[in-house]
Amino acid sequence: MKLLAAAALIAAFVPALAAPPSSVPAAGASHGTARLDDCTHAHEHADARLRRPGGHAGDRSELTPAEAATVEQRLNRILRSLGLGPADEPTGENLRAKQRISIPVHFHVLHDGAKGNLSDAMVQSQVKTLNDSYGGRNGGADTQVSFSLSDVTRTDNAAWFNDPERNEATYKPKLRKGDKATLNLYSANIGGDLLGWSTFPWKYTSEPTMDGVTIHYGSMPDGHITNYNKGFSATHEVGHWLGLYHTFQNGCLGEGDRVADTPAERDPTNGCPTGKDTCPSPGADPVHNYMDYSYDTCMTSFTAGQGARMHKVWAAYRR
């Protein structure tokens, strides 16, 4: 679905590695060779990024296999200390038996005069979309994660609104509220090929004021970005904020996204294809999963395994 430049999640720079062409070209994609990380520009802050409509499937924000292994080793050490099983352990746990995670949301509207000055109703619609997505009301698993809107702030600042990436280290420390269990969601006019970005939960301790999610205001429900205006950009990025990787993490090799019930996927999905199956292992590509790159019109679900991982990562880093 979406993301831009690979952020330096642990390493300062991730080299580009070509991937073989997809066996089933994604709708709207070039028939040339697809790359899993065409963009090699590293960013100073660690985050997960989201690709915007058009262009090739690529521009990774997922970790390299070595980086992901390091993150998972640290995560599993914490989980063991809490008496919990590994984050990627296949589990038959019933999510209904889990204690619900209720997350307060501080929504920060950055705007330039009237441009981007969202109404309360639009903000509430985005929060409802999060609840529908994570509650399984569009399909898939009820992850037992819910969101409640605490407040809305509005900041009329043309520079912050029109170049939120460059000004991120300025507006976040000034506006952020709450603790590690609080979601700060920022809307702005993101340029380039981005719909949004998110920090991962394991970065909170070292960069607490940077924690949160920034989305393009046009990606919100009934926004102006064609094919990406059902509010699932926020759903996708909040998934990273809760510790999920992309469904195409590591491609067909290794341990993938560390979730057993999401089939392996070599190439990110572009558009809304049918029959896309890029890995020899069982199962077609999870094109309907919120952590792929599909059009919003294709996205419907999280899996039970993703829900279980959210709860374990929450216990390790946000509880």
Q: Give the residue ranges of DSSP H helices in 82-231.
A: 120-134, 158-162, 168-175
Annotated catalytic residue: which of 89, 237, 255, 265? Answer: 237
* Distance between CA atoms of residues 135 and 184, nearest Å: 20
Strands (E) located in the chain: 48-51, 101-111, 145-156, 183-188, 194-198, 213-216
Is 237 noted as a catalytic residue in this protein? yes
Q: CA of 262: how far to CAs of 38, 101, 127, 143, 219, in Å? A: 24, 22, 25, 15, 25
Residues in the chain: 319
Residue 258: closest CA among 305, 299, 317, 314: 305
What residues are annotated to the active site?
237
